[in-house]
């Protein structure tokens, strides 16, 4: 079968690699000059920064993708667990270091915040093990089929309860609620619109930890680009897809400025609202906004070098005084004004320096360094290199939001297109498709599409 994949981000490439290995003739069409989308790196004056993701949950997804599309990942690079998933620093001066891979360690960490909080945390997280098993089997690891799904999975996905209300009941401490909310608030979601089952993210962090690859996660984008070559995927860069051509209810081609490219099946790995014939799928939905990024090169001996040394730390999250009110009411998040400030100490720098990325929302660009300093991380005298990229610029670069749809309650589950769509021969992968954004989930979307299309 001739398959055309639209968009060379991680979702599109995951689908292309699997389909090519299954014997299909695959063409990948990418509007920019290079592949990877958000999953990439920039190198300036010897400093290397990840442009988007710096670490991933569920390393098994990446390993499975490489194994099922050719050489195992271990032959090309390694996945390394981070020592600390996140460090949260709260407005009252207290801190929590969240480690992955151990329930007992997390319990002890929460206990240092307040007696009894460790118990409350494990009581919140434990039941998500069952939720994960159900969703994994019926919705995340195989294309959704209501006839095959367990009734409990159908019930879970239709549940009205929101994560904001659940956390309010389950965790008596505002700081613990901020920790549980973070995987969602970091992507700009309004927690009062996030379904309760999505809280399983905390279970995944606790059980599987978070992982990166040497040289930064962007290296994974390069490896996937090479995999396109070994799998003989035809890659057309600098070619924007303008629409999917649908005839008699079937996707038969994609349209570009240079003409049509015929296809027996089309996989769309971009925001479908950019393709006129697919807009109806996402009517009444909104995409998430992107945060601003400030890539900084720091001189040797900076305050961050003192604090982290060679330790591998995911995010250093610096909460402001209004953070808990934002999470509880969702009001500011809904207006796109919810505040976020975090440091990702993941880049590499020459001459014993450090390369970090400051990610922010709701803080004016010229205030970011002062706000960091006010929250105890004063980098102002240590900066040797500074690159600012606004969320708006990034969305333009990537042709949409790599964070996918904004949660709008349980209806988002049905409104997000999936591996099978009402148009024959049309399949969706990537952050805008089921099961959503993030490296592991967009990787899984490629597997769902490969299952839906089947072998050649
Ligand atoms: C700042 C930031 C930090 C993140 N951090 C993490 C993290 O630490 N861990 C994690 O798991 N996830 C993280 N994510 C999320 C993760 O990076 C994304 O969900 C994932 O990479 C999205 O992949 P994708 O293929 O769906 O989309 P994209 O990466 O957006 O790729 C889409 C591709 O399609 C191309 N394209 C767009 N329009 C067209 C068109 N009309 N025709 C042809 N091609 C087109 C684009 O140029 C792009 O290459 C982060 C995202 C961002 C933005």
Q: What is the pLDDT of residue 392?
A: 95
What are 231-256's pLDDT values in tens digits? 999 999 999 999 999 999 999 999 99
Domain-embedded: residue 345: no
Closest C-alpha to ligand 1, atom 48: 37
Neighbour-count burial of 242, counting CB atoms closer than 10 A to its CB (0-12 exposed, 13-18 middle, 19+ buried): middle
Q: What is the CATH number of the domain that holds 424?
A: 3.50.50.60
Tell me how far apart the alpha carbons of residues 397 and 391 are, in angstroms, rounded to a whole number.
Answer: 10
Atom of ligand 1 nearest to the CA of 54: 8
Rounded to the nearest 5°, which phi and psi values hold at 392?
-65, -45
| Cβ contact 269:12 at 8 Å | yes
Closest C-alpha to ligand 1, atom 35: 7
Q: What is the pLDDT of residue 336?
A: 63
Domain count, the chain: 1
Please determine, for residue 308, whether its predicted confidence score (pLDDT) is greater than 90. no
The half-sphere exposure of 324 on its side-chain side, counting CA atoms within 13 A, is: 14
Q: What is the pLDDT of residue 11?
A: 98
Tell me how far apart the alpha carbons of residues 205 and 217 are, in angstroms, rounded to a whole number.
Answer: 17
Q: How confident is the model at residue 312 (pLDDT cuts 50, 70, 90)?
A: confident
88 CA to centre of own chain:
19
Q: What SS3 state is found at 423? A: coil
Neighbour-count burial of 34, counting CB atoms closer than 10 A to its CB (0-12 exposed, 13-18 middle, 19+ buried): middle
Angle at 357 between CA 353 and CA 363, to 5 degrees: 135
- Sequence-distant (6+) residues with CB within 8 A of 253 are 4, 244, 245, 260, 261, 262, 263, 266
Two tokens, residue 169: 């009941």
| CA–centroid distance, residue 442 to ligand 1 (Å) | 9
pLDDT-wise least confident of 51-65, 131-145, 306-320, 357-371: 306-320
Neighbour-count burial of 277, counting CB atoms closer than 10 A to its CB (0-12 exposed, 13-18 middle, 19+ buried): middle
Angle at 274 between CA 273 and CA 276, to 5 degrees: 80
Neighbour-count burial of 214, counting CB atoms closer than 10 A to its CB (0-12 exposed, 13-18 middle, 19+ buried): exposed
340 CA to centre of own chain:
16
Q: What is the pLDDT of residue 376?
A: 93
Tell me how far apart the alpha carbons of residues 16 and 390 are, in angstroms, rounded to a whole number.
Answer: 30
Helix (H) or strand (E) holding 385: strand 383-389
Atom of ligand 1 nearest to the CA of 35: 49
Q: What is the pLDDT of residue 333?
A: 67
238 CA to centre of own chain:
25
For residue 50, the cross-strand partners are 41
| Cβ contact 101:85 at 8 Å | no
Atom of ligand 1 nearest to the CA of 314: 8
- Sequence-distant (6+) residues with CB within 8 A of 147 are none
Q: Which of 5, 7, 404 to mutate to test ligand 1, by most ligand atoms within 8 A of the CB atom?
A: 7
Task: Give the chain's length.
Answer: 456
Q: Which of 270, 396, 432 to mutate to test ligand 1, by most ligand atoms within 8 A of the CB atom?
A: 270
CA distances (Å), 354 to each of 51, 300, 393, in order? 16, 7, 25
Chain-wide mean pLDDT for the chain? 95
420 CA to centre of own chain:
22
| CA–centroid distance, residue 212 to ligand 1 (Å) | 17
Quickly count: other Cβ atoms within 10 Å of residue 186's Cβ.
Answer: 17
Please determine, for residue 219, whether its predicted confidence score (pLDDT) is greater than 80. yes
Q: Which residues line ligand 1 (CB under 6 A)?
A: 6-12, 29-32, 37-39, 52-56, 240-241, 269-270, 274, 290, 293, 398-400, 402-403, 430-431, 437-439, 442
Domain-embedded: residue 432: yes
Closest C-alpha to ligand 1, atom 12: 438
Q: What is the pLDDT of residue 311?
A: 81
Atom of ligand 1 nearest to the CA of 359: 1
Percentage of the chain lying above the pLDDT 70 cut: 99
Helix (H) or strand (E) holding 427: strand 426-428
Q: What is the pLDDT of residue 328?
A: 74
Domain-embedded: residue 209: no
Percentage of the chain lying above the pLDDT 90 cut: 90
Q: Which of 186, 347, 438 to mutate to test ligand 1, by most ligand atoms within 8 A of the CB atom?
A: 438
First to last CA, the chain: 6
Tell me how far apart the alpha carbons of residues 35 and 33 are, in angstroms, rounded to a whole number.
Answer: 7
Closest C-alpha to ligand 1, atom 22: 402
- What average pLDDT score do residues 192-200 get? 97
Please determine, for residue 324, whether its predicted confidence score (pLDDT) is greater than 90. no
Tell me how far apart the alpha carbons of residues 202 and 169 are, in angstroms, rounded to a whole number.
Answer: 16
| CA–centroid distance, residue 123 to ligand 1 (Å) | 34
Q: What SS3 state is found at 290? A: coil
Domain-embedded: residue 278: yes
Q: How confident is the model at residue 335 (pLDDT cuts 50, 70, 90)?
A: low
Domain-embedded: residue 258: yes
Tell me how far apart the alpha carbons of residues 185 and 92 are, in angstroms, rounded to a whole number.
Answer: 20
Domain-embedded: residue 85: no
- What average pLDDT score do residues 422-440 get? 97
Closest CA to 194 of 412, 404, 433: 412
| CA–centroid distance, residue 277 to ligand 1 (Å) | 22
| Cβ contact 96:87 at 8 Å | yes
Residue 268 lies in domain: 2-38+215-287+401-453
Q: What SS3 state is found at 357? A: strand
Neighbour-count burial of 364, counting CB atoms closer than 10 A to its CB (0-12 exposed, 13-18 middle, 19+ buried): exposed
Domain-embedded: residue 148: no
Please determine, for residue 431, whether its predicted confidence score (pLDDT) is greater than 70. yes
- DSSP, res 197: G
Closest C-alpha to ligand 1, atom 31: 9
Q: What SS3 state is found at 327? A: helix
Please determine, for residue 325, whether its predicted confidence score (pLDDT) is greater than 80. no
Domain-embedded: residue 277: yes
| CA–centroid distance, residue 325 to ligand 1 (Å) | 30
Q: Largest Cα–Cα distance in the chain?
A: 66
Please determine, for residue 330, whether its predicted confidence score (pLDDT) is greater than 90. no
Q: How confident is the model at residue 152 (pLDDT cuts 50, 70, 90)?
A: very high
């Amino acid at each position: 079968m001739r398959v055309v994949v639209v968009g060379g981000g991680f979702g599109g490439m995951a689908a292309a690699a699997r389909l090519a290995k299954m014997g299909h003739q695959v063409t990948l069409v990418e509007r920019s000059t290079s592949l990877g989308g958000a999953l990439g790196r920039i190198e300036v004056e010897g400093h290397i920064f990840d442009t988007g993701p710096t670490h991933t949950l569920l390393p098994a997804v990446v390993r499975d993708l490489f194994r099922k599309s050719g050489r195992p990942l271990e032959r090309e690079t390694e996945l390394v667990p981070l020592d600390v998933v996140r460090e949260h620093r709260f407005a009252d001066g207290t801190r929590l270091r969240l480690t992955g891979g151990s329930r007992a360690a997390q319990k002890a960490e929460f206990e240092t915040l307040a007696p009894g909080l460790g118990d409350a945390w494990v009581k919140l997280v434990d039941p998500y093990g069952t939720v994960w098993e159900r969703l994994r089997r019926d919705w995340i690891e195989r294309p959704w089929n209501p006839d095959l799904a367990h009734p409990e999975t159908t019930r879970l996905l239709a549940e009205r309860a929101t994560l904001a209300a659940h956390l309010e009941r389950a965790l008596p401490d505002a700081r613990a609620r901020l920790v549980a909310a973070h995987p969602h608030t970091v992507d700009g979601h309004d927690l009062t619109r996030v379904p309760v089952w999505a809280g399983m993210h905390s279970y995944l962090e606790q059980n599987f930890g978070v992982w990166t690859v040497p040289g930064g996660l962007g290296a994974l984008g390069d490896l996937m680009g090479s995999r396109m070559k070994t799998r003989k995927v035809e890659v057309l860069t600098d070619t924007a897809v303008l629409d999917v051509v649908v005839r008699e209810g079937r996707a038969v081609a994609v349209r570009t400025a240079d003409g049509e490219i015929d296809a027996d099946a089309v996989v769309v790995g971009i925001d479908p609202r950019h393709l006129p014939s697919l807009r109806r799928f996402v009517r009444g939905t909104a995409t998430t906004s992107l945060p601003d990024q400030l890539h900084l090169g720091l001189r040797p001996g900076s305050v961050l070098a003192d604090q982290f040394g060679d330790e591998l730390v995911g995010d250093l999250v610096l909460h402001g005084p209004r953070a808990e009110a934002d999470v509880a009411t969702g009001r500011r998040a809904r207006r796109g004004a919810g505040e976020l400030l975090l440091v990702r100490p993941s880049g590499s720098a020459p001459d014993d320096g450090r390369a970090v990325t400051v990610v922010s929302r709701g803080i004016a660009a010229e205030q970011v360094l002062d706000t960091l300093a006010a929250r105890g991380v004063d980098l102002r005298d240590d900066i040797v290199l500074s690159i600012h990229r606004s969320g708006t610029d990034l969305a333009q670069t990537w042709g949409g939001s790599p964070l996918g749809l904004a949660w709008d309650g349980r209806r988002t589950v049905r409104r997000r297109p999936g591996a099978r769509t009402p148009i024959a021969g049309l399949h969706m992968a990537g952050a805008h498709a089921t099961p959503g954004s993030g490296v592991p989930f967009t990787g899984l979307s490629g597997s769902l599409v490969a299952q839906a299309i089947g072998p050649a």
